[in-house]
Structure 1
Amino acid sequence: MKWIGDNLKNLRHLHCLSRSQLADKIGLSEQKVWSFENNYAKPDFNEMNKIKSFFHVKPRYFSQPDLLSKADKENINVSAISFRFFQQ
């Protein structure tokens, strides 16, 4: 499976988490999260399960470019983008 670390970084930012906070919540080291985000390593099966379960996404989310990476960023009004985070 192809791994796109920016997708993990984007999710982490959308949830307003530092690397350290995410690492604590999913039981990994901050260094491990950093290596995933920067494409130095890919998560193994157990690590992937922790990440996908925490963010409620399917594993394929991390192997496909997100919509913003496909967009023409010069024509996106960043101030018009809003995100909503729903607590469960």
Structure 2
Amino acid sequence: MNTLGQRCRNLRLLHKWTQEELANKIGVTKQVVSNWERNVARPEINHLISLAEVFDVTTDYLFCIAELKGQVLEQEDLNLIGKNITFLMEHFVSPLKKRYSK
């Protein structure tokens, strides 16, 4: 299973963009894109949405969730899915709950 970083790199190369070109398209630095592709960091929600838009894919695809139906998963895949779900909860769901539970 690919990681979000691998997906970003593959999509960027498919579009024949440099890291700097992708960075300029979504308003970050080349180093930020490099960190994402090396799985050193993950994009914030606004950058994740921008990535999905410039690549013309879904955020589910970037998180490697879209093609999981019917697959037999290895433990490594399950661990990655768990990390992705945790990330989604911490960065997207929790802030929304805090904002609207007042």
Give the TM-score normalised by structure 1: 0.67
Q: Deviations over 1:24-45 (max 9, x none)?
A: 1111110110011110011111
**2:32 alignment partner in structure 1:** 32
Unaligned runs of 5+ in 2: 68-102
Aligned residues: 64
The answer to whether the 8 Å contact 2:5/2:38 transfers is yes
CA RMSD of aligned residues (A): 1.7
Q: Bigger radius of gyration, 1 or 2?
A: 2
Unaligned runs of 5+ in 1: 68-88
Given residue 5 of structure 1, which amino acid in structure 2 is its aligned partner?
A: G
**1:19 alignment partner in structure 2:** 19
Higher relative contact order (CA 8 A, sep 6+): 1
Secondary structure at 1:8 match in 2:
helix
Given residue 18 of structure 1, which amino acid in structure 2 is its aligned partner?
A: T
More helix by share: 2
Equivalences for 1:44-55 in 2 at 5 Å?
44-55=44-55
Given residue 13 of structure 1, which amino acid in structure 2 is its aligned partner?
A: L
User: Partners of 1:35 and 1:19 in 2: how far apart?
Assistant: 10
The answer to whether the 8 Å contact 2:52/2:62 transfers is no
User: Partners of 2:10 and 2:53 in 1: how far apart?
Assistant: 16
| Dislocated runs of 4+, deviation >4 Å | none
The answer to whether the 8 Å contact 2:36/2:42 transfers is yes
Give the TM-score normalised by structure 2: 0.58
